[in-house]
């Protein structure tokens, strides 16, 4: 009777059932099957957070690739006492912020502003945003968040869109919880001002309802 | 856990202060996301909540495949670079060791030299020097170097041939037989 000694398919199947931390530890030991499983599992979350910070789906995919390459390079430095997600989010937000700072990203933000100006012209003064589709809301966010610093934007995204609490955000960004609260406070203040400046009808329409 | 519209509107200040527990926060957002009236009401109080819990943009299986393919290509490239860097560093260490040994040998042989020659800043063939006839411009070394010390095609440069015995002297040996 023959024994199955090695099967990559079986390894892959096993890997999909392992917890994140175990996959990370196996990847650190050079297990490429475990690393691929980790990439497949975490890509949606990384693309999602990167998309909200950099503002463009294609750029977000590029950032996600850089994130996983950085993970692969630095797995030896991952401290398995902590959550793998926190470490991953830290790399993802840092690289997204770096990307946001690049001139290419600024040019794209400018393009989004032009789009919004056109969108605003199409909207009647008292029209509410109920008609705005999610994609348009996301585009609106990219425009009004253009005045936020990278850290402010990252904190707002993690808090309001990624369901992270203050403590976790502080761990991700390696700063104090009071700093996170400050960033969030300032982000909200700037967003309020920008929404009122760019889409005054939006708030007026909502207030009337 | 679920919140009524009244619950949600009453909890806006707590939500903004971050005072809600994590489960309550999630319920608050889910309600806002599904109840248009509450969303409008809350946004009129705090406009930035317009973006709270914007629906997740679906990442398609094709996108995941594209990211994975890019990552695998990147990892393969990094691995190749590492191998190359490893080979280069080994080779660099070998060349450095040979060069140090050659420099040390040259200093040992040449420093005692005291002959002054004005026309000696020319390369000298080691083979010629290691034979009976002393090489022009390198008299001190020629006297002390036994035949076969340097490879036949080594070239030796003396950049301060007129130096006295107490003066610094710089000698450069180029061994063309080395595979660098």
Model pLDDT for residues A83-131, shown as the tens digit of each residue: 899 999 999 999 999 998 875 555 655 555 555 544 544 444 444 444 4
With beta carbons less than 8 A apart as the criterion, state whether A154 and A53 touch.
Answer: yes
Q: Give dist(CA A78, CA A93) in Å, integer.
A: 16
Query: What pairs with residue B156 in β-bridges?
Result: B124, B173
- CA B94, distance to chain mean position in Å, is 19
Tell me the torsion sign for CA atoms B52, B53, B55, B56.
positive
Q: Give dist(CA A47, CA A53) in Å, integer.
A: 10
Question: A57-73 burial, b if ≥16 CB within 10 A, otherwise e?
Answer: eebbbbbbbbbbbbbbe
Q: What is the pLDDT of residue B148?
A: 61
Q: Of A72-81, A181-190, B121-130, B146-155, where does mean pLDDT reach its minimum?
A: B121-130
Is B43 within 8 Å of chain A by CB? Answer: yes
The model's pLDDT over A75-89, given as tens digits with 9 standing for 90+, comes to 999 988 888 999 999
Residue A197 Cα, gap to closest chain B Cα (Å): 12
Q: What is the pLDDT of residue B94?
A: 75
Is B133 within 8 Å of chain A by CB? Answer: no
Contacts of A209 in chain B (CB under 8 A): 37, 40-41, 44
Model confidence, pTM: 0.63
Q: What is the pLDDT of residue A5?
A: 58
Which candidate, A124, A141, A138, places its Cα nearest to that of B48? A141
Q: Give dist(CA A139, CA A122) in Å, integer.
A: 15
DSSP string covering A10-65: HHHHHHHHS-HHHHHHHHHTT-HHHHHHHHHHHHHHHHHHHHHHH--HHHHHHHHH
Contacts of B70 in chain A (CB under 8 A): 61-62, 65
Is B53 within 8 Å of chain A by CB? Answer: yes
Contacts of A52 in chain B (CB under 8 A): 54
With beta carbons less than 8 A apart as the criterion, state whether A27 and A34 touch.
Answer: yes
Q: Give dist(CA B54, CA B56) in Å, integer.
A: 6
Is B10 within 8 Å of chain A by CB? Answer: no
Nearest CA in chain B to A141: B51
Q: Across residues A27-31, what is the average pLDDT?
A: 90
Nearest CA in chain A to B77: A69
Whether the pLDDT of residue A135 is over 70: the answer is yes
Whether the pLDDT of residue A15 is over 80: the answer is no
Q: What is the pLDDT of residue B127?
A: 45
Residue A118 Cα, gap to closest chain B Cα (Å): 20
- Contact residues, B window 80-119, toward A, CB-based 8 Å cutoff: none
Nearest CA in chain A to B46: A192
Is this prediction's ipTM beyond 0.85? no
Q: Of A9-13, B65-69, B83-87, where does mean pLDDT reach its minimum?
A: A9-13
Inter-chain touch B47–A207, beta carbons under 8 Å: no
């Amino acid at each position: 009777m023959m024994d199955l000694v090695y099967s990559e398919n079986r390894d892959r199947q096993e890997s999909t059932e392992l917890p994140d931390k175990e996959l990370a530890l196996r990847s650190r030991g050079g297990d490429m099957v475990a690393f691929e499983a980790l990439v497949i599992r975490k890509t949606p979350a990384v693309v999602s957070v990167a998309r909200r910070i950099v503002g463009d789906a294609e750029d977000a995919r590029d950032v996600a690739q850089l994130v996983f390459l950085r993970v692969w390079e630095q797995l030896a430095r991952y401290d398995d006492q902590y959550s793998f997600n926190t470490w991953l989010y830290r790399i993802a937000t840092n690289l997204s912020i770096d990307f946001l700072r690049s001139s290419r990203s600024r040019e794209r933000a400018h393009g989004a502003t032009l789009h919004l100006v056109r969108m605003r012209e199409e909207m009647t003064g008292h029209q509410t945003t109920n008609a705005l589709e999610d994609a348009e809301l996301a585009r609106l966010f990219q425009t009004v968040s253009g005045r936020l610093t990278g850290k402010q934007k990252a904190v707002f995204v993690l808090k309001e869109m990624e369901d992270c609490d203050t403590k976790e955000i502080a761990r991700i960004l390696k700063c104090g919880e009071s700093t996170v609260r400050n960033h969030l406070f300032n982000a909200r203040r700037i967003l309020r001002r920008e929404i009122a400046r760019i889409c005054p009808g939006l708030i007026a329409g909502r207030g009337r309802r | 856990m679920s919140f009524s519209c009244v619950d949600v509107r009453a909890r806006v200040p707590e939500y903004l202060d971050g005072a809600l527990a994590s489960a309550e926060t999630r319920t608050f957002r889910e309600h806002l996301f599904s109840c248009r009236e509450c969303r409008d009401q809350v946004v009129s109080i705090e406009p930035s909540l317009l973006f709270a819990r914007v629906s997740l943009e679906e990442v398609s299986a094709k996108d995941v495949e594209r990211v994975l393919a890019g990552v695998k290509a990147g990892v393969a490239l990094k691995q190749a670079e590492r191998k190359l860097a490893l080979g280069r560093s080994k080779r660099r260490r070998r060349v450095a060791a040979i060069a140090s040994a050659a420099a040390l040998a040259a200093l040992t042989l040449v420093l005692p030299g005291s002959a002054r020659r004005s026309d000696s800043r020319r390369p000298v063939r080691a083979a010629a020097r290691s034979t009976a006839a002393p090489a022009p411009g390198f008299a001190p070394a020629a006297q002390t170097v036994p035949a076969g010390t340097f490879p036949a095609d080594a070239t030796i440069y003396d950049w301060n041939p007129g130096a006295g015995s107490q003066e610094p002297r710089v000698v450069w040996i180029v061994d063309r037989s080395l595979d660098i």
